[in-house]
Structure 1
Amino acid sequence: MSTRIFVKNLPKDATQEKLVSHIKKSCPTADITDCQLKYTRDGVFRRFAFVGFNSPEEAVKAQAKLNGTFIKTTKILVDLAADIGDASIRAWSKYSPQNQPKTGKAGSDKPFGKEAKPEEVKSTRPGFAIKMKGLSGFYNEKSIRDFFKPIKLSSIRIPKTAQKKPMGVAFVEFATAKELDQGMGRNKNFINGKKIFLKKSAEAAEQAVKPVTPAPWELKAKASSTQEVESIAESGRLFVRNLWFGVTEEELQETFEKFGPLAEVTVPVDPLTKKVKGFAHVVFVFPEHALKAFTELDYTSLHGRLMHILPGRETTSEETGEDEKSSYKKKKAAQQKGNSSSAYNWNSLFLGANAVADAMAKKYNTDKSNILDDESKGSVGVRMALGETQIVSETRQFLISNGVALDSFSQAAGERSKTVILVKNLPAGVEADELREIFSKHGTVNRVLMPPSGITAIIEYIEPSEARQGFMKLNFSKFRSIPLYLEWAPMGVFVNPAKSQEGKAADQEKEKMRKGDNEQEMEDVEKEERKEQEDIEQEADKNKIKEKNNNEEDEVSEEEPEENTTIFVKNLNFDTADQDLSKHFEKLGELHSATVAKKKDVKRPGELLSMGYGFVQYMKQRDAKEALKHLQNSVLDEHNLELKMSNRTTPKAKGRKKQGETKQTSTKILVRNIPFEAKKREIEELFKVFGELKFVRLPKKLGGTGPHRGFAFVDFLTKQDAKRAFNALCHSTHLYGRRLVLEWAEAEESLEELRKKTAKHFPDEGPRKKVSRTSLKNELDS
């Protein structure tokens, strides 16, 4: 349903302020998002306007209340506005191009509803025009007619700027050459005390026969099969402007994701007013979905404003400061920044070795050199791994006690927040205020949460666009001579939202009440707090169930096509359908999809027209290459097809395998991803901290020579010790820079159980008779 109304028959002196004021009188609660009065190219008011509202319900209510009302003594007519390009719309205004004579001109005194006669055409053509210069102050058509009295003028045109201000010149036309000469006799006369200069001009005549500029949607239709379409087909990026200043990223995402999965939605916000700037960037995962959204949504209304969609632009190497002469280090840094916006990069609780050493030195009041001394007792790698484990454990306990849900941090990748950033690799001794000051330069920070170790923190912004800007600017940037590592925190990382100013004031009141003598009020407050805590716990349980269901859905998801398997097909016959395209390409391999791009048919509402291009995606990359090789310039429906690989990237979450999924069944732990320089004694030294060991087995490659195979089995005497070690080391423990991955190993079967298991495969048929070679050969021959 439309969110805009169409108001016509407005008074000639109507203004935007007067119209909005009239609407507010009838609909005081209406949220008006747009108001546009329409003028001709010459600045003549066409006496109608479009008004946008925040919701379709408000537009319907306004139409019902405003239709037939009066502005002064003029009765206005109001109707719901139709979409641009709707074939049912009939041009009613005399200024509309459809109602103008072929030789007429907008803004002249001639009637526009009829065809101009030949003699009328002859009397208003080139040679009878004068250009007036030197106009200033207030002037209009009346003052110009008074200047030339008693000479009659055929038409007057006063050019204006985009701000509707006169430009100091005017063009007038005369019916005959004699009247033109009489008009030139007024050269150097005065208007408003300023001398006016007159000159015969053919410019007015050129303006009179200037062809009517096509409507924006007509221009879009003409350009849709050229460079504009190819740009979107390559990048999948859209630039959306003329948005309401109260629109949110979630609303835009909901609007555009109907056409396909989105990679990114960015709505820039003004840093001072905290309002949307009126435009956005939308990036689709698949470019063909961007083309479909461009076709369907361009010049459609959202919150009462017509969205104008243009091809988006990718950041070039010049803008990022990267060029061919850049060093390898700079290129790598630029590549890291480019990939930093991906949903999942590394272990969320990762701590740099330098930061761990600083924190340990501060905690135990010793020098950093003593911790890193390789000549002291024990392995340095094990010492650092145990230190990291302790810091991670303390960090987890602090965050959990402050309302942070950390379950997803040590699990596989999931949906990530748009406002909460996890900051890692901070140097020791950093204060929360210092960190807030750095991140506040890019937007308003809602809260900063920093554990006692001070080498990791959680930053929450208010606006997603400011959070994204801070993320891009500060990720991998130097802070106290070391780089910051940033990552988007999991969705719902905070169990409860940050407290507002009102909430803080309420806490202060509760504190006063605690210090008072009113016990009854204290009991009421405690009840409310308990209820609030129960609600938070219930919400957390719901989130866990939802996450579990999402994980189950992911496990049964269908097989995805490989990367670089999409072909952009041009020069299609407009009668070619999806089935024809699929049939033409499926002979070279299994297809994932075959789609012909379509647009709305303005002449037949509800119908779609082919745009002359499409997309074909194979399941396998080799099939796509074969199709590109063998079907280039092939004929489909009497058209030679032009094929090109589409620059399409499908982001895949590189989540690690979940730890602790299976229940503990034994005292044995399987440890993966062990660095090859690690020794067996170091594995023993790392795990014996948590309890007494039965054995540690580090399998070697075949032949028993060379390094081990990168995994080990660690068996404890008791299940309690094994569980303690597993829970401490599974979150984020690195040995020589490699993160240890822990799983519960299955319990070993006894020799008797193995014999019984094997006997099941051999039925008890008594002792077997020995078969000779000759008898076996005779049996096979027969």
Structure 2
Amino acid sequence: MGKKAQGRNSGYIFVDLKSAAEMQRALKRKKEFLGGRCVEISRCRNTPKETAPAKPDQQPWQRVLRDDEEEEDLSESGRLFVRNLPFTSTEEDLEKIFSKYGPLSEIHFPLDKQTKRPKGFAFITYMIPEHAVTALAELDGQVFQGRMMHLLPSTIRKGKTEDGDAEDSSSYKKRKEAKDKASSASSHNWNTLFVGTNAVAEAMAHKYSAAKSQVLDAESRDSVAVRVALGETELVQEIRRFLVENGVSLDSFSQAAGERSKTVILVKNLPAGTDPAELEELFGHHGDLGRVLLPQGGITAIVEFLEPSEAKLAFTRLAYTRFHSVPLYLEWAPMGVFFGPAPQKEKAGAPKKEDEAGLAPGEAVQDSEGAAAQGEEEEEEEEEEEEEDVPGCTLFIKNLNFATTEDTLKETFSRAGALKSCTISKKKDKAGALLSMGFGFVEYRKPESAQKALRQLQGCTVDGHKLEVKLSERAIRPAVKSARKKQISKKQKTSKILVRNIPFQATVREIRELFSTFGELKTVRLPKKMAGTGSHRGFGFVDFVTKQDAKKAFNALCHSTHLYGRRLVLEWADTDETLEALRRKTAEHFHGETPARASSCAVTSPPEPGHLPVLEHPP
């Protein structure tokens, strides 16, 4: 900085940049405001007489860059390198500190493979690079858990780009694989329970010991598209049943915008007949696994890691890699995908599978229908319970002794009122045992009881620890409840189903063939376009003879059934409307008339069911 004779600042400063490109970028900041003043920037031709004292090239706390490395521009990358971290720190601790300055995109917290201890450094990436600049200025040199953190801009290999070696290659396949791999962590890639047509054909051929050409035989009497759709429906039902039996919450998959897990990975597009041991060997190279769930069809699997860093490493390295003859499709599972520990009844359940294999097809279908009906009744009961929830009934309990059990906590807090639930958050250790995390949640039936507990039990001692009590601010559960209410907004009142998103190449015969699998049909109607093209309008109505058959078809086809590549969307149709009501609704919609005025118009002849009335004098 330039100084005057008296030692005061002269208002100008000399900045020596590393390269000409950086100097050109700095010159573009001309006329910007700094501290309320418009800054003038110009290129200096002569070296200033007063220069800053030269610093030694190598200082003990500075990291020397290798020959193949260069420092990233922090204002563009938003990626920080943090070192000198204590070995007792966790990824959650870093997230808590660095997220104060802005939303984080990624935390890379490496662990030693042998000891499972942190290596003492981490990489923090911000969504907005300006937040990384602020964090560097504020946190560099700060004491964190007894050690002074040192923050630096991250480094990259010289000559490397975001696409890696893909740009150097002329192969379109390699460039596409690199692009797919870069976007693999996106949470909106595809439907979680989606099963591809090729995978369905292979799974059905493997299950019934037939050739794949027989499953996709186009010369048979029934439609190939319907055959594949029914095969997909059967596979999805088996996958759902298997996941429920192994402690997986299916409701978590319906929340597309929900928070994603850091340790559980969904593996999709697997070839039929995949062995779970193969997946354990493939993913086990990258870290310790908790549980690997693979249904009998071998199409979709769930892989759980014990450490988030190892799960992230496996995800990055295995996404879109070749497994047998197909690429691996990986997706982070939603939070709360497991509602309980791994079941220990596999051996007891094995004979049941053998018994089911010996049943006749009709009996097996009846069992699956009974299980689906029972699951729906349980869902309705859960909805009724959830509707009774009142805000302000849940307390967050902190500073728990690790030896405190849920029974002890329940006994302490039941003095203030009737409890609805009492849970202590736990995590797995290296051996797979559940350990307390030192906090928990207590939910009362009434908010008055929660307020009473907040006043009376604040600072009470349980197992030698003074508890900190406050109202819980968890926002995940209300979001889940509202989404579930939207999904099941209509309940069954009739035997008629409204089917949306029907592909235009599908015919009435194919829709009848698809739905007649579940019971006897009364009518199948696909409304036609008025232009006279003969094509239908993309939706239709399927009316069953009995409500039980309609419910059976709805439960089977509503999850993930694709016809000609389009997913069928099912809703319960309203059939209680009379012909007069339809006339009034049509008049109001097209002409904006009131029911009284609409009824005064003369109709030449009574219209046929399902057709619009013809007015004698159009307005």
1:304 to 112, 133, 146: 146
Q: Which residue of 2 aligns with 1:379?
A: 223
Q: Which residue of 2 aligns with 1:238?
A: 80
Compute the displacement of 1:374 (Å).
Answer: 0.9
Q: Which residue of 2 aligns with 1:327?
A: 171
Cα distance in 1 for partners of 2:600, 2:502 equals 49
Letter in 2 for 1:297: L
Cα distance in 1 for partners of 2:115, 2:249 equals 32
Cα deviation digits, residues 369-411 of structure 1 (max 9, x gap): 2111111121111111111111110111111011111112244
Q: Which residue of 2 aligns with 1:675?
A: 503
Q: Is the 8 A contact 2:501 2:568 kept in 1?
A: yes
Q: Which residue of 1 aligns with 2:91?
A: 249
Compute the displacement of 1:552 (Å).
Answer: 7.5
Equivalent residue of 1:426, what SS? coil
Cα distance in 2 for partners of 1:536, 1:432 equals 36
Q: Which residue of 1 aligns with 2:295?
A: 451
1:463 to 279, 292, 307: 307
Compute the displacement of 1:747 (Å).
Answer: 4.0
Q: Which residue of 2 aligns with 1:744?
A: 572
Q: Is the 8 A contact 2:504 2:535 kept in 1?
A: yes
Q: Which residue of 2 aligns with 1:99?
A: none
User: What does 1:690-729 correspond to in 2, within 5 Å?
Assistant: 690-705=518-533, 707-729=535-557
Q: Is the 8 A contact 2:85 2:144 kept in 1?
A: yes
Letter in 1 for 2:177: A
Compute the displacement of 1:442 (Å).
Answer: 1.2
Q: Which residue of 2 aligns with 1:272?
A: 114
Q: Which stretches in structure 2 are left out of the alignment for 5+ residues?
A: 1-51, 63-69, 349-406, 411-419, 426-440, 444-471, 602-619
Task: Determine what percentage of the aligned residue pairs are the same residue.
Answer: 56
Cα distance in 2 for partners of 1:700, 1:332 equals 41
Compute the displacement of 1:323 (Å).
Answer: 0.8
Cα distance in 1 for partners of 2:442, 2:255 equals 17
1:343 to 184, 187, 197: 187
Cα distance in 2 for partners of 1:360, 1:673 equals 25
Q: Is the 8 A contact 2:110 2:119 kept in 1?
A: yes
Q: Which stretches in structure 1 are left out of the alignment for 5+ residues?
A: 1-208, 220-226, 508-527, 556-655, 769-782
Cα distance in 2 for partners of 1:488, 1:551 equals 18
Compute the displacement of 1:437 (Å).
Answer: 0.5
Q: Is the 8 A contact 1:244 1:278 kept in 2?
A: yes
Q: Which residue of 1 aligns with 2:356?
A: none
Equivalent residue of 1:430, what SS? coil
2:234 to 390, 393, 406: 390
Pick closer, same or farther for the CA change 1:319–1:485 going to 2, 3 Å.
closer
Compute the displacement of 1:667 (Å).
Answer: 3.4
Q: Say which one has the larger Rg.
A: 1
Q: Which residue of 1 aligns with 2:275?
A: 431
Q: Is the 8 A contact 1:659 1:741 kept in 2?
A: no
Equivalent residue of 2:93, what SS? helix
Q: Which residue of 2 aligns with 1:662?
A: 490
Cα distance in 2 for partners of 1:538, 1:761 equals 60
Cα distance in 2 for partners of 1:687, 1:396 equals 21
1:490 to 334, 353, 356: 334
Q: Which residue of 2 aligns with 1:549?
A: 478
Cα distance in 1 for partners of 2:421, 2:238 equals 27
Pick closer, same or farther for the CA change 1:702–1:302 going to 2, 3 Å.
farther
Cα deviation digits, residues 630-670 of structure 1 (max 9, x gap): xxxxxxxxxxxxxxxxxxxxxxxxxx997444333443333
Q: Which residue of 2 aligns with 1:292?
A: 134
Q: Which residue of 2 aligns with 1:352?
A: 196
Q: Is the 8 A contact 2:584 2:595 kept in 1?
A: no
User: What does 1:29-178 correspond to in 2, within 5 Å?
Assistant: none
Letter in 1 for 2:524: V
Equivalent residue of 2:228, what SS? helix
Letter in 1 for 2:478: N
Cα deviation digits, residues 525-575 of structure 1 (max 9, x gap): xxx9xx9xx9899999999x964513589x9xxxxxxxxxxxxxxxxxxxx
Cα distance in 2 for partners of 1:288, 1:662 equals 47
Equivalent residue of 1:348, what SS? coil
Equivalent residue of 1:726, what SS? helix
Compute the displacement of 1:459 (Å).
Answer: 0.7
Compute the displacement of 1:683 (Å).
Answer: 1.9
Letter in 1 for 2:572: W
Q: Which residue of 2 aligns with 1:192?
A: none
Compute the displacement of 1:492 (Å).
Answer: 1.4
Cα distance in 1 for partners of 2:600, 2:235 equals 65
Q: Is the 8 A contact 2:286 2:311 kept in 1?
A: yes
Cα distance in 2 for partners of 1:748, 1:284 equals 55
Q: Is the 8 A contact 2:273 2:296 kept in 1?
A: no
Compute the displacement of 1:471 (Å).
Answer: 1.2
Compute the displacement of 1:333 (Å).
Answer: 1.2
Q: Which residue of 2 aligns with 1:283?
A: 125
Letter in 1 for 2:282: I
Letter in 2 for 1:260: G
Cα distance in 2 for partners of 1:392, 1:538 equals 34
Cα distance in 1 for partners of 2:499, 2:296 equals 29
Equivalent residue of 1:321, what SS? helix
User: What does 1:757-776 correspond to in 2, within 5 Å?
Assistant: 761=594
Letter in 2 for 1:243: L
Q: How many equivalent pairs are there?
A: 420
Cα distance in 1 for partners of 2:514, 2:422 equals 38
Q: Which residue of 1 aligns with 2:266?
A: 422
Cα deviation digits, residues 197-227 of structure 1 (max 9, x gap): xxxxxxxxxxxx98566999x99xxxxxxx9
Q: Is the 8 A contact 2:255 2:480 kept in 1?
A: no
Q: Which residue of 2 aligns with 1:223?
A: none
Cα distance in 2 for partners of 1:537, 1:718 equals 44
Pick closer, same or farther for the CA change 1:699–1:339 going to 2, 3 Å.
farther
Cα deviation digits, residues 453-483 of structure 1 (max 9, x gap): 2222111111111111111211211111111
Equivalent residue of 2:165, what SS? coil
Cα distance in 2 for partners of 1:706, 1:294 equals 66
Letter in 1 for 2:225: G
Compute the displacement of 1:702 (Å).
Answer: 4.3
Cα deviation digits, residues 208-264 of structure 1 (max 9, x gap): x98566999x99xxxxxxx98x93332332222222223222221111222222222
Q: 2:476 matched to 1:476?
A: no
Q: Is the 8 A contact 1:405 1:495 kept in 2?
A: yes
Pick closer, same or farther for the CA change 1:210–1:438 going to 2, 3 Å.
same
Equivalent residue of 1:347, what SS? coil
Pick closer, same or farther for the CA change 1:677–1:239 going to 2, 3 Å.
farther
Pick closer, same or farther for the CA change 1:754–1:740 going to 2, 3 Å.
closer
Pick closer, same or farther for the CA change 1:354–1:437 going to 2, 3 Å.
same
Letter in 1 for 2:561: T
Letter in 2 for 1:247: S
Q: 2:110 matched to 1:261?
A: no
Cα distance in 2 for partners of 1:360, 1:750 equals 45
Q: Is the 8 A contact 1:496 1:536 kept in 2?
A: no
Pick closer, same or farther for the CA change 1:419–1:746 going to 2, 3 Å.
same
Q: Is the 8 A contact 1:410 1:731 kept in 2?
A: no
Q: Which residue of 2 aligns with 1:367?
A: 211
Q: Is the 8 A contact 2:163 2:179 kept in 1?
A: no
Compute the displacement of 1:288 (Å).
Answer: 2.6
Pick closer, same or farther for the CA change 1:756–1:481 going to 2, 3 Å.
closer
Compute the displacement of 1:673 (Å).
Answer: 3.2
Q: Is the 8 A contact 1:347 1:410 kept in 2?
A: no
Q: Is the 8 A contact 2:319 2:329 kept in 1?
A: yes
Q: Is the 8 A contact 1:659 1:742 kept in 2?
A: no
Equivalent residue of 2:98, what SS? helix
TM-score (norm 2): 0.60
Letter in 1 for 2:323: F
